[in-house]
Structure 1
């Protein structure tokens, strides 16, 4: 298969799976059995390209938050007609910052300790199953709390810290799924709104993935390995990832308005079975 087509397919797979709570890592491992293994920079870069989709989707919200944060009063979100006050914007942005800071500190500690699991099939399959169970439990308790207390959309400081820690766990345990870990820890910690939990998880991913890409880029530059990268393939995969991620996120945001995440948990369990059945354990 031509290299350009390989890169295109990998970009599409990454774009679809990065934000759906089904683990992009698990899907890329399956794909790489036929499409070839890729560098760390390649995988992180197409993840960052997928994050661009969130920037495009939420740019009006981000702009309104920035304007209110800088001191404007009662900034109106043009799409949702939501009024974003200065107090809300500063509280929300600071919580995004705390979640990001917790992630950065946690990942630096993890790298310092050398604590990293290999991208092997068996641990990823186990992480998929554990994540599936985690999703069902989290949504069950969130639904019970919502029925008892009403829908709660507020992101607390506890949620912000736990979301940051969830990103660290997702980074350490391939197959966990960053989106699944962050969305469902927010639901368990008291945000009973699937939409609010998903939005916060996606927005935290913006600085997180851009920082991860920058870190890998600087590391490879320092080691003199950038010349080994196929930049044409990386460009094709990145564009494909951004476009398909945009479509996937738009679809997910509509889906969760009327559906629970149960279908994704079932899919994760099925994917774990496929990984164990079709991919060699040593891969």
Structure 2
């Protein structure tokens, strides 16, 4: 298989899985087991491509949040899932996004300083898929038991979402979107749409910052010229387009469905990997 075709396939996998609660990093690690390993910059850059799709979808919401943060009055903001925010709420919401990102940034830098590296075998990913599926089912059930439709994001939720992003980065297979969405649900936000929106929006600065960090590290170490930029660029574009379609679909899906189907998928995939992979994989 040519390097370019492999990059396209990885871009498609990333675009589909980045925002569905099934773990994009886990799927990329599994795919690279057969398609060949890629650099950390490649994996993070195509994740940033998927994030770019969210910027396009939420562009009006992001603009309204910026106006609210700067203290300018703007009409009530409606995100693609239909949740309204007044001017005062927009400022509070923007500050909570910044807090969540700050927690992630501090935690992520600490993990880097400790020298944590992603595992190169698939078995840890398989276990994370299974454990994450159970976590999703429990969180959904607890949110349903509370009743009502609470869309507010608390300061505590913002901190927990930031921590969840760090955990998802350390344990591939956990899924950043799943970890953040279901932490929000467990913390008191019973609306799937509200929890999903916050998880998506806080992922924007998180993934762009991660990409920038890797670029600076490569430039410092003289590794920029060693990257296959053509393959990376193609995968970036493919990931962006695929993610745009996937996010649009997911926002419609969660209006009338739970995340149960994704939990079942994770259980089946995780169990299959544990049964079929050799002990050293």
Query: Equivalent residue for 1:111?
Result: 112
- Say if 1:155 and 1:79 are closer, same or farther in 2 by CA, change over 3 A: closer
Q: Which residue of 141, 160, 163 maps to 2:161?
A: 163
- Say if 1:52 and 1:279 are closer, same or farther in 2 by CA, change over 3 A: farther
Contact 1:74 1:86 in 2 (8 A): yes
Distance 2:111 2:83 in 1: 39
Distance 2:134 2:120 in 1: 21
1:1-283 paired onto structure 2 within 5 Å? 1-77=1-77, 84-146=85-147, 150-283=148-281
Distance 1:137 1:82 in 2: 25
Can you give the 5+ residue segments of structure 1 that lack an aligned partner in the other structure?
A: none
Deviation at residue 110 of structure 1 after TM alignment: 1.6
Contact 1:46 1:238 in 2 (8 A): yes
- Say if 1:190 and 1:242 are closer, same or farther in 2 by CA, change over 3 A: same
Q: Deviations over 1:219-275 (max 9, x none)?
A: 011111111111110011000000000010011110000000011001001111232
Residues 46-55 or 73-82, more deviating: 73-82
Deviation at residue 82 of structure 1 after TM alignment: 6.7
Deviation at residue 4 of structure 1 after TM alignment: 1.4
Deviation at residue 124 of structure 1 after TM alignment: 1.1
Deviation at residue 139 of structure 1 after TM alignment: 0.6
Look up the SS of the partner of 1:154 in the other structure.
coil
Can you give the 5+ residue segments of structure 2 that lack an aligned partner in the other structure?
A: none
Distance 1:167 1:72 in 2: 30
Aligned-CA RMSD value:
1.7
